[in-house]
């Protein structure tokens, strides 16, 4: 099936550092979503992007929808220990309307933050 390539696979950083991760696809998506998942829990939505070129922030998180619609990135500034978790990108083919809204996920980026 359709795959998203997410990189890096893992990151080990010091508290206070900035983090950047990205996601690429061979296909165009109309919506990009970024989720965070902690062990034993379901993914929690962080940011949703709807337009090519869109740059959206949520606190220390900033995400952008690539102009080609085939990529997205997520930045975390001034990381803190509670940022630890697995970050997933997800693409959706069509927003709203009669589409089913199925999400295609990347493989995830494991983030470890050392105090």
Partner 1 sequence: DTGVSQNPRHKITKRGQNVTFRCDPISEHNRLYWYRQTLGQGPEFLTYFQNEAQLEKSRLLSDRFSAERPKGSFSTLEIQRTEQGDSAMYLCASSAIVITEAFFGQGTRLTVV
- Please give the Cα distance from 58 to 69 (Å, whole number): 21
Examine residue 113 and tell whether it contacts partner 1 (CB under 8 A). no
Phi, psi of 23 (to 5 degrees): -140, 135
| Nearest residue (CB) to partner 1, 16 versus 94 | 94
- Show the tokens assigned to 41: 């829990």
Examine residue 91 and tell whether it contacts partner 1 (CB under 8 A). no
Alpha-carbon 54 to chain mean position:
14
DSSP 106: -
Q: Which of 15, 17, 28, 44 binds partner 1 (CB under 8 A)?
A: 44
Examine residue 28 and tell whether it contacts partner 1 (CB under 8 A). no
Q: Which of 41, 59, 82, 115 binds partner 1 (CB under 8 A)?
A: 41
Q: Which of 28, 45, 67, 78 binds partner 1 (CB under 8 A)?
A: 45
CB of 19 to partner 1, least distance (A): 18
Asked if 18 and 77 count as a contact pair (C-beta separation under 8 A), the reply is: yes
Residues 6+ apart with CB under 8 A from 78: 16, 17, 18, 60
* Residues binding partner 1 (CB under 8 A): 1, 4, 6, 31, 33, 35, 40-45, 48, 88, 90, 92, 95-97, 100-108
């Amino acid at each position: 099936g359709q795959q998203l390539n997410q990189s890096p696979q893992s990151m080990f950083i010091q508290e206070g550092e900035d983090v950047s991760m990205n996601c690429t696809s061979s296909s165009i998506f109309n919506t990009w979503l970024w989720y965070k998942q902690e062990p034993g829990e379901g993914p929690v939505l962080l940011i949703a992007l709807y337009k090519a070129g869109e740059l959206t922030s949520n606190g220390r998180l900033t995400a952008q929808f690539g102009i080609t619609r085939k990529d997205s990135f997520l930045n975390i500034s001034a990381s803190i220990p509670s940022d630890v978790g697995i970050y997933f990108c997800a693409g959706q083919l069509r927003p709203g309307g009669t589409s089913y809204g199925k999400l295609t996920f990347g493989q995830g980026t494991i983030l470890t933050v050392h105090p």
